[in-house]
Amino acid sequence: MPDSTTKPRFIEPKKLKAQLQKAKLQAYDQGCDDIEFMFNPTEISFTRTVKWESKQGNRGSELLPKVNFSGVEPYKFTLKQLLFDTYETKKSVMEEYINKIKQGVETIEGARDKRPPVYVFMWGEKYFHCVITSLTYTLNMFLTDGTPVRALVDISLQEVDEKNPPGGKGGTPKGSQRPLEPRIKGSTVSG
């Protein structure tokens, strides 16, 4: 029998905090920085189009143009509304984050083939090798001295062939020889 002098204790359940794993655009080429960001989408939409060609005058039995398969386009998708914030540290969001991201739409310093870098998009797992096709950033918070401390960023990505990335043998010196993270299983680096 329980003792009537002891009061029951309320045991508060522990709340588990879900850790948001950072996503990363891992630079495949040397001379470029990795881009890490918090990424918690409700959905991810990938787009791929198939190319069909029809020739004028070439008709089938239903008088519709006869079409021929001519290839597939790479997968594309956009990372939308990525938030970068340096308000607490009072550092410029441009210097901390945006300048690294801007490297993705500028030519690689010292590259022989004058092209922007290739990345590996990863978020828990490897999705694909890709290039940045479009970058939009909006600075939307400033300190009293004009230092930007918050930015919203949209980055559009396009898949590239992992076994034959841009630059190939004539690409960035040693860039194609850069070892990938051990988490990327089954990847081969050709150069």
Whether residue 110 has pLDDT greater than 90:
no
How many of the other CB atoms lie within 10 Å of CB of 172? 25
Asked whether the predicted pLDDT for residue 96 surpasses 80, the reply is yes
User: What is the per-residue pLDDT for 172?
Assistant: 41
190 pLDDT higher than 60: no
pLDDT digits (tens, 9 = 90+) for 34-62: 999 887 777 788 899 999 988 777 676 77
* pTM for this prediction: 0.70
Mean pLDDT of the chain: 80
**Alpha carbon distance 32, 113 (integer Å):** 15
| Tens digits of residue pLDDT in 17-34 | 556 678 899 998 887 899
Contact 131, 121 (CB under 8 A): no
* Structural contact between residues 26 and 180, judged by C-beta atoms closer than 8 angstroms: yes
